[in-house]
Amino acid sequence: MIISPDTKRERRIPPGQSQTLKWPVLDASGTPPIDMGRWRLEVFGLVEREVSLDWEEFQKLPRVEVFSDFHCVTRWSRLDNSWSGVAVKTLLELAGGVKREAKFVSAMGYDYGWTTNLPLEEFLVEDVLVATHHDGEPLTPEHGGPARLVVPRLYAWKSAKWLGGLELLAEDRAGFWERNGYHMHGDPWKEERFGY
Ligand SMILES: Nc1nc2c(c(=O)[nH]1)N[C@H]1C(S)=C(S)[C@@H](COP(=O)(O)O)O[C@H]1N2
Ligand SMILES: [Mo]
């Protein structure tokens, strides 16, 4: 089990946040329909070779478990989450590694091209994964099932639900919330809520 470093802080709730014991559902346009026969996870852009996995192939990859907290910019924090799925490192290895120019990632959801962006150095840490399970149960559709990105060290809007694509980029590219005023980086400990 990989333990997110932020869970080891003495004070685990970032500034301006309050703890919730529930798990709210939050997204821009609701749960999209996903046909598992057509589901794909694509790793593309500035990688050595582009990867497109179907559900069966994705299921065969080595798995990790991550214990982490989840901080939504709307001010709730859900502590003590156990996620399991595939480490992004494993996916980038399948793609033969990233090209030298790759500096950012855009994560795409099945909800009509919704994306979010983050720096490669925040993406390539050991507690970032494509999760299929939460607290031992398969992710429900409203929480991003069958598979979602989880980026524990940034605000929860960077944890793309219904993940379908990971694009490696040389330049940062604002996603849905970032174009609507949210921060390009989104560190909850620095309260990077809104744009620069
Ligand atoms: N594809 C996609 N992922 C998304 C969103 C979205 O609208 N679409 N909303 C984000 C926001 S703002 C938050 S706070 C978290 C919420 O995840 P949850 O609904 O599982 O709590 O998902 C993030 N991931
Ligand atoms: Mo959010």
Q: What is the mean pLDDT of residues 35-62?
A: 98
Give domain 39-190's CATH superfamily: Oxidoreductase, molybdopterin-binding domain (3.90.420.10)
Averaged pLDDT, 28-33 = 98
Q: What is the mean pLDDT of residues 24-42?
A: 98
pLDDT (0 to 100) of residue 192: 98
Q: How confident is the model over 138-145, as a mean pLDDT? A: 98
Q: How far is the CA of 48 from the centre of ligand 2 (A)?
A: 33
* Interval between CA 80 and ligand 1 midpoint (Å): 18
- What band does 103 get if pLDDT is binned at 50, 70 and 90? very high
Whether pLDDT at 138 is above 90: yes
pLDDT, average across residues 1-12: 98
pLDDT at 56: 98
Per-residue confidence (pLDDT) for residue 134, from 0 to 100 = 98
Mean of all residue pLDDT scores within the chain: 98
Give the residue, by CA position, lying nearest to ligand 1 atom 10: 157
Query: What is the number of the ligand closest to the CA of 111?
Result: 1
Taking the C-alpha atoms of residue 82 and residue 47, their distance in angstroms, rounded to an integer, is 29
pLDDT score for 90: 98
- What percent of the chain has pLDDT above 90? 99
Cβ–ligand 1 distance for 182 under 6 Å, the answer no
Residue 155 near ligand 1, beta carbon < 6 Å: no
* Reported confidence tier of residue 119, pLDDT bands at 50, 70, 90: very high
Whole-structure pTM value:
0.98
How far, rounded to the nearest angstrom, does the alpha carbon of residue 187 sit from its chain's CA centroid?
14
List the chain domain ranges.
Answer: 39-190
pLDDT tens per residue, range 153-167: 999 999 999 999 999
Nearest residue CA, atom 16 of ligand 1?
Answer: 26
Q: Kindly report the CA angle at 125 between 122 and 130, in degrees rounded to 5?
A: 95
Place of tokens 């855009």: 106
Sheet holding 163-169, edge to edge: 51-54, 40-45, 163-169, 104-109, 115-119
- Cα(22) to centroid(ligand 1), Å: 15
Residue 119 Cα to ligand 1 midpoint, Å, equals: 18
Distance 172 CA to ligand 2 centre (A): 20
Q: Inform me whether the pLDDT recorded for 42 exceeds 70.
A: yes
pLDDT at position 27, please? 98
Q: Is the pLDDT of residue 1 over 90?
A: yes
**Mean pLDDT, to the nearest integer, of 5-33?**
98
- Tell me what the mean pLDDT of segment 31-51 comes to: 98
Query: Do residues 121 and 106 make contact, with C-beta atoms less than 8 angstroms apart?
Result: no
Residue nearest to atom 21 of ligand 1 (CA): 25
Burial status of residue 133 (CB atoms within 10 A of its CB: 0-12, 13-18, 19 or more)? middle
Q: Please check the confidence at residue 131 and state whether its pLDDT lies above 90.
A: yes
Q: Is the CB of 159 under 6 A from ligand 1?
A: yes
pLDDT at 196 over 80: no
Ligand nearest to the CA of 141: 1
Q: Is 162 in the pocket of ligand 1 (CB under 6 A)?
A: yes
